[in-house]
Amino acid sequence: MTHTASSLIVGNWKMNGTSASAATLIGEILDGAAALPPSVALVICPPFTLLDRVGRMIEGSVVRLGAQDCRAEPKGAYTGDVAAPMLADLGVHYVILGHSERRRDHFETDAQIRAKAEAALACGLTPIICIGETAEERDAGDAFLRLSAQIAGAVPAGFGADSAGGVIAYEPVWAIGTGRTASREDIESTTAHIRQALAAHLGTDDNLPQILYGGSVTARDAASILSIGTVNGVLVGGASLSADSFLGIAAGAAGSPS
Ligand SMILES: O=C(CO)COP(=O)(O)O
């Protein structure tokens, strides 16, 4: 399957990695990344502890650096938190916000996620705002309502039109870490809905944020997912911890055999 438009392949390492494992993984990814066409953009989001080390390793390569969260305030007495300007200072380009694991474990609200996105944009970072319905919401037929509400609450005005751009990651909660990827048909209809909801919320059809799919993506299904017209890339968890899998997914974006 061939995919001609550019694709954003983002690896979310979550709470995984040591200096030794990161050195090996990044070395292998850089070896393989050199063979990818320029239409495929790779982003690695390691935990905070590895941002500096990974940033130094990928310097001068096509791979960009992303973080997994930031705080909305620029500095202050917030023990354990990390501010957006601190990330920008480290050479970070992207920041994942509102991941379902943070919504679940840290009770993050759409309003907080929106404030974080505004803080990230203010220092030139590209936010990757995560949205997604739970299995219960899906079974109740409320998935689209839930996604529209998350967009209305978490996506800042003008999102995507800023020079830093903006990214929305559709990650159905029931597909994350479960090995249960959403079907191509589901991803197609849901991302079409998300695109419509973004256009309605932002009041424009131009410069809309890019839309990623995330949830048990593997090299096996990446090419099919990435060939959907409303999907601009993928957000990869588990499979981003293996260079073979991550590069296989990127090869799916490049239209080459994975
Ligand atoms: O949450 C995810 C990426 O942010 C998806 O994780 P998995 O690819 O492990 O399902």
pLDDT tens column, 30-62: 999 999 999 999 999 999 999 999 999 999 999
1 inside domain: no
Mean pLDDT of the 154-161 span = 95
ipTM: 0.99
Mean pLDDT of the 177-195 span = 96
Q: Indicate whether 2 pLDDT > 90.
A: no
**Residue 99 annotated as catalytic:** yes
Percent of the chain exceeding pLDDT 70 equals 97
Tokens (6 digits) for 203: 């009041």
**Residue 171 annotated as catalytic:** yes
pLDDT for 84: 98
pLDDT for 5: 62
Question: Residue 252 and residue 84: Cα distance in Å, rounded?
Answer: 32
Q: Indicate whether 3 pLDDT > 50.
A: no
- Among 176, 213, 221, 242, residue to substitute to test ligand 1 (most atoms within 8 Å of Cβ): 176
Look at 165 and 29; give whichever has higher pLDDT.
Answer: 29
Q: What is the DSSP string of 217-245?
A: --HHHHHHHHTSTT--EEEESGGGGSHHH
Mean pLDDT of the 175-190 span = 95
215 inside domain: yes
Residue type, 194: I
Q: What is the DSSP string of 132-172?
A: ---HHHHHTT-HHHHHHHHHHHHSPTTTTTSTT--EEEE--
pLDDT in tens, 101-125: 999 999 999 999 999 999 999 999 9
177 known ligand binder: yes
Cα–ligand 1 centroid distance for 177 (angstroms): 6
Residues in the chain: 258
2 inside domain: no
CATH for 211? 3.20.20.70
In a 13 Å sphere around the CA of 44, the CA atoms on its Cβ side amount to: 34
Residue of the CA atom closest to atom 8 of ligand 1 = 237
Residue of the CA atom closest to atom 7 of ligand 1 = 237
210 inside domain: yes
Average pLDDT, the chain: 95
pLDDT for 162: 83
Question: Residue 223 and residue 226: Cα distance in Å, rounded?
Answer: 5
Kindly name the residue from 3, 93, 99, 201 that is annotated as catalytic: 99
222 inside domain: yes
Question: Residue 212 and residue 236: Cα distance in Å, rounded?
Answer: 10
pLDDT for 258: 37
Q: Could you list the residue range(s) of the whole structural domain that residue 216 is in?
A: 7-254
Q: Indicate whether 184 pLDDT > 90.
A: yes
Out of 2-11, 53-62, 117-126, 209-218, least confident range: 2-11
Q: What pTM value is reported for the model?
A: 0.96
> CA–CA distance from 89 to each of 67, 82, 85, 123, 129 (Å)?
12, 12, 6, 9, 21
Cα–ligand 1 centroid distance for 4 (angstroms): 25
Local confidence band at 254 (pLDDT 50, 70, 90 cut-offs): confident
**In the chain, how many domains are there?**
1
> CA–CA distance from 252 to each of 52, 187, 218 (Å)?
29, 17, 10
Cα–ligand 1 centroid distance for 210 (angstroms): 18
157 inside domain: yes
26 inside domain: yes
102 inside domain: yes
Kindly name the residue from 108, 133, 137, 171 that is annotated as catalytic: 171
Q: Indicate whether 203 pLDDT > 60.
A: yes
| Residue 151 CA to its chain's centroid (Å) | 15
